[in-house]
Every structure is written in C-alpha cells, then in structure tokens.
C-alpha cells in the first residue's frame, strides 16, 4: 500500500534527522524548542477508563 501522506511524513522526518546528523538528542531538543515556541494551546487528554465486564463469562 502506497500512502502519499505517510511517505511525505517519512520524507520530512528523514530530512530533519539528517540535518542533525541523526543525533537523537539534538533532534529532540530542536523539536522540543519548536513545541515551546508554538502559540497554540496544548491539550493533554486523560486516559480512557476501561469498563469492567458486566455479563457472565
């Protein structure tokens, strides 16, 4: 299956990684700095609760 969106995301990820010579710490620091500069509100969703089964098993 050839998905254009996935291919594009992988392309940009690879470009970003190569710009830091695949140094994961520098890559992370850059992404974190961009996240902190982003003016949009960050949303953290609470984990979903699992319901207990009610029927006979």
Cβ count near 53 (within 10 Å): 7
pLDDT exceeds cutoff 90 at 2:
no
Where are the chain's structural domains?
A: 4-36
Please state the pTM of the whole predicted model. 0.58
What b/e sequence results for 12-45 when a residue is b if at least 16 CB atoms lie within 10 Å of its CB, and e otherwise? eeeeeeeeeeeeeeebeeeeeeeeeeeeeeeeee
pLDDT for 53 equals 74
Averaged pLDDT for residues 8-21: 95
Give the distance, in angstroms, between the CA of residue 18 and the centroid of all CA atoms in the same chain: 18
pLDDT digits (tens, 9 = 90+) for 24-34: 999 999 999 99
Averaged pLDDT for residues 16-21: 95
């Amino acid at each position: 299956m050839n998905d254009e969106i996935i291919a594009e995301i992988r392309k940009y990820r690879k470009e970003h990684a190569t710009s830091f010579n695949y140094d994961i710490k520098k890559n992370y620091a850059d992404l974190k700095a961009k996240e902190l500069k982003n003016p949009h509100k960050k949303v953290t969703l609470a984990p979903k609760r699992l319901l207990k089964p009610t029927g006979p098993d």
